[in-house]
Amino acid sequence: MLRSTAAIGVCATALLAAVSAHVGIDVLGDYLVRDDSYDHVAHGSRVLFTLCALGLAALIGLYLFSHLCTAAASLRERVRMIRIRRSQMAAAIACIALLALFFVPAMETLDALRAGADVDSPADAFGGSLLLGISTTLGCALAWSGALLGVVAWLVRHRDRVARLLFELLNVGRTQVAGAHERLAPAALLASAPARRTRHRSKRGPPATATALLVH
């Protein structure tokens, strides 16, 4: 499950990097490229890819929250959950960069197809310049990879506090319910005490019902 979560995180990061690179290429192309191909079509793919990235990020957040709640009382489980090697970090950065290099031309191709236009060359898919497009995409991929690794490093450093906080938040409701029961229990006992004393003191049963006799 952790591998699938890491894969989803890499994909979400690559999507965000691609959207950022697409916007960056569009802005830089107005100054550095003679014919910016991004100026001729609408860019609805940015919204679509951003929503996909946010959806994947929300899915990861829900999984990490549930997993931290489950492992809140186990230090070994928390350490095993977020222990990451340098080779894995390098592999994640490489995957983010490669996926971003795939998503950026895919976004432009999608926008061109929606507008009824054609993408004549890979350069057009990268805004009219392969050098500008690839360098901007790699820069954005590295930036978003750094952000992802920063979040992971923060979790590694503060994993105990995060797990303890979640554990305490989950137990707040249970503690309040238990305290309410404890406050209600003495009141119930006091309320029922007179009735119990009355039952214990009475040794005789209730008087028999009187009957009426007809006298002739």
Q: How far is CA 40 from CA 23, 30, 56, 108, 129, in A?
A: 14, 12, 30, 11, 15
Print pLDDT tens along the chain (216 aa).
Answer: 667 888 888 999 999 999 999 999 999 988 888 877 787 788 889 999 999 999 998 988 888 777 766 655 554 555 455 567 788 889 999 999 999 999 999 999 999 888 888 888 898 899 889 999 999 999 999 999 999 988 888 877 776 677 677 667 766 655 555 554 555 555 554 455 555 555 555 555 555 544 444 444
pLDDT at 24 (0 to 100): 93
211 in a structural domain: no
pLDDT at 106 (0 to 100): 93
199 in a structural domain: no
In total, how many domains does the chain have? 1
177 in a structural domain: no
Cα angle vertex 56, ends 7, 95, to 5°? 30
* Residue 77 and residue 159 in contact, taking contact as beta carbons nearer than 8 Å: no
212 in a structural domain: no
192 in a structural domain: no
19 in a structural domain: yes
C-alpha 12/C-alpha 15 separation (Å) is 5
The b-or-e profile of 52-71 (16+ CB within 10 A means b, else e) is bbeebbeebeebbeebbeeb
Q: Find, among 24, 12, 17, the residue nearest to 141 by Cα.
A: 17
pTM above 0.85, yes or no: no
Domain of 65 in residue numbering reads as 2-170
pLDDT at 212 (0 to 100): 45
Taken in order 116, 117, 118, 123, the sign of the CA dihedral is negative
C-alpha 25/C-alpha 19 separation (Å) is 10
85 in a structural domain: yes
147 in a structural domain: yes
